[in-house]
């Protein structure tokens, strides 16, 4: 479904992402993990079209998408959420989601119906008519997902949707993402909350200083000494 070859991004002299290659198959849940500043979000930005790669290719369903603008990538069925939530603050939650729904729907009333359906799906129905700027962090993270879902993605990039949430909230989010996957949406998850990412991923890719250092099932990753040295530390466990 997604094929990344030699993906590289330089910022001046800094190589944020270096020759990254990986594949994602339909229906998979991929964890993309690594220490702060290892290039995870930069990778997401390139996949979603927000940032142009310095080198390398990205193919989505057999079609090259590197160099396309973000709105085109989104309309091809690849949506993302933002690590730092990006709501439209002065309009309601429903209206926020409607913007995404308009990708596939022309009429306002249909878009609204679709938006309310997405809010239901992420459990935000009680806040449907609240201004986005009045929502809590958990609600905003759910709103991010609802907005992305409204565009009907085949591949969803989730950038730290569990970060900053309490333990109970992480459980709620975990269930929600698992549900999306069973509904057929392929996901790539960037996450520091190990419990979240290890529970969800079928396969993990670990990057450090922009380069891939390991790939495998969550168990393999947790037992990989290189990953421990670079990221997890000696004490890490599934918790």
Partner 1 sequence: MSLKMPYIRILVVGALICLLPLVLDTFYMHIAVLVLIWAFLACAWNIIGGYAGQHSLGNGLYMGIGAYTVAYLVNRFALTPWVGLLVAIALSAAAAAFIGWIVFRYALKGAYFALVTIALTEAAVYVVSNIPALGGAGGMQMEYRGNSLAYMQFAGQSGYFYMGVLMVVFILLLTQWYKSKRFFYQLIAVRENEDAAEALGVDTVKAKIKANVMSGVLCAVGGVFYAQYFLYVGPRSVFGEVVSVQILIYAIVGGLGTTWGPVVGAVLLVPLSEIARGQLGNSLPGSQLLLSGVVMVLTMLFMPFGIIGAVARLRQRWQHRSATPLVDSQGGEAS
The answer to whether 128 contacts partner 1 (rule: CB under 8 A) is no
Among 1, 50, 59, 113, binds partner 1 (CB under 8 A): 50
CB 102 within 8 A of CB 118: no
Residue (108 or 126) nearer to partner 1, CB:
108
Please choose, from the candidates 62, 57, 7, the residue with its C-alpha nearest in 3D space to the C-alpha of residue 32. 7
Of 109 and 233, CB closest to partner 1: 109
124 near partner 1, rule: CB under 8 A = no
Q: Using the rule CB under 8 A, which residue among 12, 36, 62, 109 binds partner 1?
A: 109
Q: Is 98 in the site for partner 1 (CB under 8 A)?
A: yes
Q: How many residues bind partner 1 (CB under 8 A)?
A: 32
For partner 1, which stretch binds (CB under 8 A), given 95-103, 181-189, 190-198, 199-207? 95-103
Whichever of 159 and 208 has its CB closer to partner 1, that residue is: 159
> What distance in Å separates the CA atoms of residue 128 and residue 118, rounded to the nearest whole number?
10
Question: Binding to partner 1 by residue 79, rule CB under 8 A?
Answer: yes
Q: Applying CB under 8 A, does 40 fall inside the site for partner 1?
A: no
DSSP lists the bridge partners of residue 33 as 206
Distance CA 159, CA 233 (A): 22
Name the phi and psi angles at 100, rounded to 5: -70, -40
Q: Does 150 bind partner 1 (CB under 8 A)?
A: yes
Greatest alpha-carbon span in the chain: 55
Report the residue from 31, 53, 56, 87 that binds partner 1 according to the rule CB under 8 A. Answer: 87
CA atoms within 13 A on the CB side of 57: 8
Q: Name which of 106 and 184 has its Cβ closer to partner 1.
A: 106
Chain contacts with partner 1 (rule: CB under 8 A)? 48-50, 69-72, 74-75, 79-80, 82, 86-91, 95, 98-100, 102-103, 106, 108-109, 111, 147-148, 150-151
């Amino acid at each position: 479904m997604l094929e990344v070859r030699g993906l590289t991004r330089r910022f001046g002299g800094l190589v944020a992402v270096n020759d990254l290659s990986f594949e994602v198959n339909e229906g998979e849940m991929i964890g993309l993990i690594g220490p702060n500043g290892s290039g995870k979000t930069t990778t997401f930005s390139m996949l979603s079209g927000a940032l142009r790669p310095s080198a390398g290719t990205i193919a989505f369903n057999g079609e090259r998408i590197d160099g396309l603008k973000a709105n085109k990538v989104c309309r091809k069925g690849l949506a993302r959420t933002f690590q730092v939530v990006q709501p439209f603050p002065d309009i309601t939650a429903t209206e926020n989601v409607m913007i995404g729904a308009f990708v596939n729907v022309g009429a306002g009333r249909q878009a609204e119906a679709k938006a309310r359906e997405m809010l239901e799906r992420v459990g935000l129905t009680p806040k449907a008519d609240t201004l986005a700027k009045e929502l809590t962090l958990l609600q905003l993270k759910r709103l991010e997902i609802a907005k992305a879902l409204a565009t009907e993605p085949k591949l969803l990039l989730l950038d730290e949707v569990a970060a900053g949430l309490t333990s109970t909230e992480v459980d709620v989010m975990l269930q929600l993402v698992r549900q999306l996957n069973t509904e057929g949406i392929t996901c790539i998850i960037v996450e520091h909350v190990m419990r979240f990412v290890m529970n969800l991923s079928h396969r993990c890719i670990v990057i450090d200083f922009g380069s891939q250092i390991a790939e495998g099932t969550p168990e393999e990753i947790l037992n990989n000494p290189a990953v421990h040295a670079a990221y997890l530390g000696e004490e890490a466990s599934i918790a």
